[in-house]
């Protein structure tokens, strides 16, 4: 059984009754982001399946295989002084032993520390993400993560010079490759 509302065959939580697959996947998804926020690479590696996994970080090519995926997170963690995720629009579907989570990652991150040790300038970013989980004997594990940046609306640009901004844009309008 699966679907948007899951089933009631989940783990027992003392005093709270059984947890549904939806709740268990939601917890696994939350744990993924909390682990990245903490920069805990060892804990992050425990959340991913062994074997063939994949990740697409915004602006990166597809990375396949556990080693490549975990190296990418090590690189991100080593170069990110501060990161916090606020997840919105979270939707979870479970079919059998596979779960699909879609969400919007509202990301607040900071660059390298200033000379006085404080966090560098904070930057906000929106990313739409798809996380695929697979049920294992040890619980739900990440199989794939794909994050795509949300492009800013060009109508918000301050350059109101009366000219058609898209007319001579060599890259074309946003969203076109």
171 found inside a domain: no
Tens of pLDDT, residues 91-134 = 999 999 999 999 999 999 987 666 776 667 888 999 999 999 99
Q: How would you classify the pairing of strands 82-95 and 98-110?
A: antiparallel
129 found inside a domain: yes
Domains identified in the chain, total number: 1
158 found inside a domain: no
| Overall pTM surpassing 0.95 (yes/no) | no
CATH of the domain at 120: 3.10.450.50
156 found inside a domain: no
Tens of pLDDT, residues 24-79 = 999 999 999 999 999 999 999 999 999 999 999 999 999 999 999 999 999 999 99
C-alpha triplet 113, 70, 90: angle, nearest 5°:
85
59 found inside a domain: yes
Bridge partners, 142 (sequence order): 48, 133
**Whole-angstrom Cα distance, residue 54 to residue 33?**
16
174 found inside a domain: no
Phi/psi at 111 (nearest 5 deg)?
-80, -165
159 found inside a domain: no
C-alpha triplet 68, 69, 75: angle, nearest 5°:
85
The single-letter DSSP state of residue 173 is: S
Q: What residue numbers bound the domain in which 109 lies?
A: 12-151
DSSP, residue by residue, 14-54: TTTEEPPHHHHHHHHHHHHHHHHHHT-HHHHHHHBPSSS-E
Asked if 104 and 87 touch (Cβ cutoff 8 Å), the reply is: yes
Residue 168: how many other CB atoms lie within 10 Å = 7
Q: What is the pLDDT of residue 7?
A: 41
Q: What is the pLDDT of residue 154?
A: 64
Q: What is the pLDDT of residue 153?
A: 75
Tens of pLDDT, residues 1-13 = 344 434 444 444 4
């Amino acid at each position: 059984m699966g679907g948007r509302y899951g089933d009631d065959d989940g783990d027992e939580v003392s005093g709270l009754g059984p947890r549904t697959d939806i709740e268990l996947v939601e917890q696994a998804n939350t744990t993924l982001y909390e682990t990245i926020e903490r920069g805990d690479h060892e804990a992050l590696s425990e959340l991913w399946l062994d074997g063939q996994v994949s990740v697409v970080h915004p602006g990166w090519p597809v990375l396949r295989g556990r080693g490549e995926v975990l190296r990418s997170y090590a690189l991100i963690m080593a170069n990110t002084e501060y990161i916090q995720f606020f997840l919105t629009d979270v939707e979870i579907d479970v079919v059998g032993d596979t779960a699909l989570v879609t969400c919007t990652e509202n990301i607040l991150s900071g660059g390298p520390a200033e000379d006085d040790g404080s966090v560098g300038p904070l930057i906000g970013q929106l990313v739409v993400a798809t996380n695929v989980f697979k049920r294992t004997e040890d619980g739900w594990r990440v199989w794939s993560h794909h994050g795509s940046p949300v492009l800013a609306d060009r109508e918000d640009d301050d350059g109101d010079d009366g000219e058609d901004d898209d007319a001579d844009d060599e890259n074309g309008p946003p969203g076109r490759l």
